Each structure stands twice: as structure tokens, then as C-alpha cells.
Chain A
Amino acid sequence: MPSTTELLKISTQVRRDIIRMTHGAASGHPGGSLGCADFLTTLYFGIMKPDPKNFTMDGTGEDLFFLSNGHLSPVWYSVLGRYGYFDFHELGTFRMLNTRLQGHPSVHEKLPGIRMASGSLGQGLSVSNGAALSKKLNQDLHHVFCLMGDGELQEGQNWEAAMFAAAHKVDNLIAIVDENGKQIDGPVEKVIDMGDLKAKFEAFGWLVIRMNGNDIADIREKMLLARVARGKGKPVMVLMKTIMGFGVDFMQDNHEWHGVAPNDEQTVKALAQLEETLGDY
């Protein structure tokens, strides 16, 4: 596994990509993307390590990742590009006409690395259940990872999926909830208070792990822990605390950066805080 310092170098470049992509498109969702940059970088480069050159829709023989909160497309595209699924210079086409990098992830445009469209919220955990069952039927011992938002848990389908995973003992499924406590209309607890998520998922029959999503060392440790929990008959839920907008001081912990792109001046200010570690696209 790459060292924590090496992973941080990559996630810093990913953050630059997120700022430049949303600025270039004058739209998109930088807040949640910045918050999840450390996690998604560590997941691909340190935990899953899939083969980017031989991408198949079936994904047999490797770990799979599904992004349920599809508006985090900037961070996913950047990690996919930097990991080698496609030439990272293509990141510059984000949200442009005829791009493979649609506003929300799609398979229709055949971007390698993506197996399911997302954007309309609440479907990813069900999809991941399906992919995990398929792996079990195929006696494929790899894992299925699914990233969701905390606000997204307000969609009822997630709880259908949570019930199903426990009832069918889908223990090769690892779900990660990005607990940044923010959604479009404000703090999650003010919009619809989600209460004690750990108690909720435990009551649903899941094994729950807490993780700091902006601490690469903690991500490495807890994701490996989540992985070894396999085969115990329970799906695994990782409650991942993050700070929305992490890495850019004026965006941090502010729900107003959920779906707004930085302007020219803000972009200069943001990039000054993020070192160009791997070369911009």
C-alpha cells in the first residue's frame, strides 16, 4: 500500500482537480467532493486496487465501488483519472457537451470505471446489494463498497436496502456514509434530524464502524477492519465523519458549497491552498 504521505499527495491533487473542474464547468458540487477526497483516494489506491486497464462491466475478480450520491462526481472522476482508468486530461471536459464526464455519473457514455448511473438519490445501496449477491453466486470473494451521503439517508429506499442486506446476510457489502452533517437546505439535523445513525444501523442488523474521513491513517485502518469483518453474516456500515469542503478554508464546513462552483477569484484563492503535487490536467 502507498504510504500515508503518498496518499495525501494524491488527494491534494484530487482536490485541485475538483476546484478546477467545477470552476471550468461553472457548476457542479465541490463541497462533498472535497470532503471525500481522502477517502476515495485511499479506497482506490490503498484498499481496492482494481485493474484500471482491463475494466469490465462485470467486475469479476475485483472489488467494486458504487457512488450512490452521484453529485460527488468531481471527486470520483478525478480519482478514476488519476488512478489510470482514462487520461486524466479528460477531466477538463467535465459537464461539457458530448463529454463522457456527465454532471452525474452515467454508463451510457462508457467512461471506464463506472458501472451504474447515480444522481437520483437512494438507489446505490440497493444496487450494491445486488452486485454483492452476484459476487456470492459467482463465488467471487471480493467486496462491494458503496458511498452514500448522510442527507441521502432520508430517502426511504436506503432502509429497504438496509433491511434486505441484514436479512439476506450480505456480508461482502461495505457501505460508507459521508457524515458531513450538511445538505442543500442546511444542517442535516435542522432539515430532518437523522438521530443516532450507529444505533439505527445496529438495530437493522449491521456491524457499525466509525471513521474519520479526513484522516488517511484512520481511513486505512478502519477500511481494513471493515474488510476483515467479511463472512460474519453481517453487512458493514462505516460512519465516516468528514468536513464538507475540507482543504479549502473558505469552503470548509459550509453547506452553501454543496452545489456551487467557485468563481475566478475564489478559484485562485482555493488553489493557493492546494499544492500541485502530480501536475494539473
Chain B
Amino acid sequence: MKEYTNTGSKDTRSGFGEALLELGKQNPDVVALCADLTGSMKMDAFAKAFPERFFQVGIAEANMMSIAAGMTIGGKIPFTGTFANFSTGRVYDQIRQSIAYSEKNVKICASHAGVTLGEDGATHQILEDIGLMKMLPGMTVINTCDFNQTKAATLAIAKHIGPVYLRFGRPKVPNFTPADSEFEIGKAILLNEGTDVSIFATGHLVWKALEAGKILEKNGIHAEIINIHTIKPLDCEAILASVSKTGCVVTAEEHMMNGGLGDSIAQLLIRENPLPMEMIAVNDQFGQSGKPEELLVKYGLEAANIVKAVQKVMSRKK
């Protein structure tokens, strides 16, 4: 099992904030919009350095999305910032008509996704956002796993032409991907080679998958662990290559089972190579208040749950 070291836990949103500031220096067309969450989104550094390119929209997310769409006319590259719930569900129609259908180059950057938002509870803990966004034709959907990857992804989406949904989170989580590595949209990252099972994880659950891999290794199970940071477009080639070797699959994500990464992979496998599959995700329920780590346990999103799912899926192998 390949070793991954936590170089110091950090929040993914800070990776976004650092990269946004860098983008401001690199590209005069990058503009940022925020709906009264500048501090939480870590957009203050950009706002301070480039006040003429930072637009405080106030608590009006629908307006923010449509303004961003309009700003692309004239060549701007708008980055919108608010929580995942207010970046998707609240403004779905604005994104659908003015951004996705109108093919606008807007980068929808969403923090505080999933149950790890914690104490604020279900009103703020969206678990449906990946599903909502991936259903839109032409939308790229990315869910990053740590600080370094969020920073790299933020830099990368500025160069991509087309609408992007970039999802990250609130809590400090282990930072283990290499610093300053280039982020390739749509290219899965093989973290550990294995032969017994393929574990496809995204976002905060990638580290949990690595922890599960260590436990499995001790039990003589060699798990292949792959970081699917881009849910759309899905790296079908990497996924099919892995499963043809391992013969069974576990997916892991901090999202609703309906509409999530597992759902995308299941659709692919049912068409190309039907195999035993288990999904670690929230199954048709809302979150609740609590500490992030308590909620991950409560909703079955821990390394231990991945281990159990692997044991179950391997028993189903023919």
C-alpha cells in the first residue's frame, strides 16, 4: 500500500481562496462575485487586492448567477462564491437558462458542501448538488479532496472554456496530494494499485478511502483506490480499466446516493461491464446538526463503512 502523508490539515476552501488571488494576478479577465460570504469563502484576499474586479452582490444568489452569466459577454471569466446549497438548488433555473443552456463561461465555486458543514444542519448541508449540476448538458462537475487539489483545480478551471461547478467544503481535512501539481479536468488519479476491489472516491471521502485501504491491506485485501475528482466528464476509460482487473466496485462520496458519483459509475458499468457494486453515500435522507466527524459516523461515511462495503462486494464476486 502506497503511503500518503498528511502534511497538515487545512480547509479546502482556503485552497480556493489562495488560487483565486493567484488568478487575479495572472489574468485581468478573472472577476469574482460573492453573496455576502466573502470571509467564509476565503475570497477576502482577492477582494482586497482587486477591488475593481470584485463584486459584492449581497444576499441575492439568483441575481449573482445571472450577473455572472452577463459578465461573460465582454470576455470576463466570473467566479461566483457562496455555499453549495445556495450555489445550486437555490439558483437552479438561473444556472440552467443563463449559464448552461446559454453556454456561458462561468465558474460556480461552492463551499460548505455535504454534512461536514456541521452544526448549521440540513438547511445548509446540501447532498444533492452534484446530481443537480451533472444533469445539465455541458456542465463540468468537480469535487476536490484536499487543500492542494482545490487550489490546483481552481487554477485549472480558469483555463477551461465552459461552465464549471467546483465543489469543496468547510472543515479542515488532511492535505495529502502533492502541492503545485497540475490539475487535469476529467482525469482520474490512481492513488493505489490493487487487484481485489476498485474503490472510487471523491471529495472528503478520498482520504477515508485511503484509510480503509490500509485496514484492508492488513487483512490481505489489495484495494485499488482511485480519486475521481471530476464527476463529469467521467474518466470512463480509467474506471473500466480498473474494474476489468478487480471485478468489483465500491464508490464513496459525501453526497446523496441518487445523483452522485456512484450513480454515474453504476450507469457506466451497467452499459459496459456489469459487476458487483456497493455505494457509500447518504441514502435518501437529510442531514442534521452535529460536529462534522460525528456526522460522518452517523451517516456511514467513515473508513469503517468502506471496509464493510468492500467485504460485502467481494463476497458477491463470482
Q: How far is the CB of A123 from chain B (nearest CB, A)?
A: 5
Chain A residues with Cβ below 8 Å from B72 are 130, 134
Q: How far is the CB of A61 from chain B (nearest CB, A)?
A: 10
Q: When A123-B97, A134-B70, A137-B53 are in contact, do A160 and B75 touch as well, CB less than 8 Å?
A: no
Q: How far is A130 from B52 in the complex, measured between Cα atoms in Å?
A: 14
Chain A residues with Cβ below 8 Å from B78 are 130
Which single member of A106, A120, A129 contacts B70 (CB below 8 Å)?
A: A129
Pairwise interchain contact A126-B62, C-beta atoms closer than 8 A? yes
| Residue of B53, B70, B96, B98 most packed against chain A (CB within 10 A) | B70
Q: How far is A117 from B70 in the complex, measured between Cα atoms in Å?
A: 11
Chain B residues with Cβ below 8 Å from A157 are 60, 62-63, 66, 94
Pairwise interchain contact B66-A117, C-beta atoms closer than 8 A? no
Residues 113-160 (chain A) with a chain B CB within 8 angstroms? 115-120, 123, 126-135, 137-138, 140, 156-157, 160
Chain B residues with Cβ below 8 Å from A140 are 74
Chain A residues with Cβ below 8 Å from B75 are 58, 60, 134, 138
Q: How far is A137 from B50 in the complex, measured between Cα atoms in Å?
A: 12
Chain B residues with Cβ below 8 Å from A132 are 70
Q: How far is the CB of A189 from chain B (nearest CB, A)?
A: 26
Which single member of B63, B70, B76, B93 contacts A160 (CB below 8 Å)?
A: B63
Q: When A108-B101, A157-B66 are in contact, do A164 and B71 touch as well, CB less than 8 Å?
A: no
Q: How far is the CB of B55 from chain A (nearest CB, A)?
A: 7
Which single member of A59, A123, A161, A163 contacts B98 (CB below 8 Å)?
A: A123
Q: When A157-B63, A168-B55 are in contact, do A58 and B73 touch as well, CB less than 8 Å?
A: yes
Chain B residues with Cβ below 8 Å from A164 are 57-58, 60, 63, 67
Pairwise interchain contact A116-B53, C-beta atoms closer than 8 A? no
Pairwise interchain contact B73-A117, C-beta atoms closer than 8 A? no
Q: How far is A156 from B70 in the complex, measured between Cα atoms in Å?
A: 18
Chain A residues with Cβ below 8 Å from B71 are 130-131, 133-134
Q: How far is the CB of B238 from chain A (nearest CB, A)?
A: 30
Contact with B along A162-196 (1 / 0, CB 8 A): 01100110000000000000000000000000000
Q: Is A272 an interface residue (CB 8 A)?
A: no
Which single member of A64, A118, A128, A133 contacts B55 (CB below 8 Å)?
A: A133
Q: Is B103 an interface residue (CB 8 A)?
A: yes
Contact with A along B56-88 (1 / 0, CB 8 A): 011010110111111111111010000000000
Pairwise interchain contact B60-A116, C-beta atoms closer than 8 A? no
Q: Is A107 an interface residue (CB 8 A)?
A: yes
Q: Is B102 an interface residue (CB 8 A)?
A: yes
Pairwise interchain contact B63-A131, C-beta atoms closer than 8 A? no
Pairwise interchain contact B74-A160, C-beta atoms closer than 8 A? no
Q: Is B223 an interface residue (CB 8 A)?
A: no
Q: When A107-B103, A137-B31 are in contact, do A59 and B73 touch as well, CB less than 8 Å?
A: yes
| Residue of B53, B58, B101 most packed against chain A (CB within 10 A) | B101
Pairwise interchain contact A116-B57, C-beta atoms closer than 8 A? no
Pairwise interchain contact A137-B66, C-beta atoms closer than 8 A? no
Q: How far is A156 from B67 in the complex, measured between Cα atoms in Å?
A: 15
Chain A residues with Cβ below 8 Å from B62 are 123, 126, 156-157, 160
Which single member of B31, B63, B97 contacts A117 (CB below 8 Å)?
A: B97
Chain A residues with Cβ below 8 Å from B76 are 134, 137
Q: How far is the CB of A136 from chain B (nearest CB, A)?
A: 9
Contact with A along B91-127 (1 / 0, CB 8 A): 0011011100111000000000000000000000000
Chain B residues with Cβ below 8 Å from A118 are 97
Q: When A60-B74, A107-B103 are in contact, do A116 and B58 touch as well, CB less than 8 Å?
A: no
Q: Is A199 an interface residue (CB 8 A)?
A: no
Chain A residues with Cβ below 8 Å from B55 are 133, 168
Q: How far is the CB of B49 from chain A (nearest CB, A)?
A: 16
Chain A residues with Cβ below 8 Å from B93 are 120, 123
Chain B residues with Cβ below 8 Å from A160 are 58, 60, 62-63
Chain B residues with Cβ below 8 Å from A123 are 62, 66, 93-94, 97-98
Q: How far is the CB of A221 from chain B (nearest CB, A)?
A: 28
The residue on A at minimum CB distance from B52 is: A137
Pairwise interchain contact B60-A64, C-beta atoms closer than 8 A? no
Q: Is A57 an interface residue (CB 8 A)?
A: yes
Q: How far is A167 from B75 in the complex, measured between Cα atoms in Å?
A: 23
Pairwise interchain contact B57-A106, C-beta atoms closer than 8 A? no
Pairwise interchain contact B101-A131, C-beta atoms closer than 8 A? no
Q: When A116-B98, A137-B31, A160-B63 are in contact, do A127 and B103 touch as well, CB less than 8 Å?
A: no
Pairwise interchain contact B67-A127, C-beta atoms closer than 8 A? yes
Closest 4 CB pairs of A and B: A130-B70, A134-B74, A126-B66, A160-B63
* B residues lining the A interface (CB < 8 Å): 31, 52-53, 55, 57-58, 60, 62-63, 65-76, 78, 93-94, 96-98, 101-103
- Knowing that A123-B66, A127-B69, A138-B75 touch, tell me 8 more A-B residue pairs with CB under 8 angstroms: A108-B102, A115-B73, A116-B69, A126-B66, A126-B94, A130-B69, A134-B76, A161-B66
* A residues lining the B interface (CB < 8 Å): 57-60, 64, 66, 106-108, 115-120, 123, 126-135, 137-138, 140, 156-157, 160-161, 163-164, 167-168
Please name 20 pairs of A and B residues whose Cβ atoms are closer than 8 Å in the assembled complex, sorted by A.
A106-B101, A107-B102, A108-B102, A116-B73, A116-B102, A117-B97, A123-B94, A126-B63, A126-B65, A126-B70, A127-B66, A127-B69, A130-B71, A131-B74, A133-B70, A134-B74, A157-B63, A163-B58, A164-B67, A168-B55
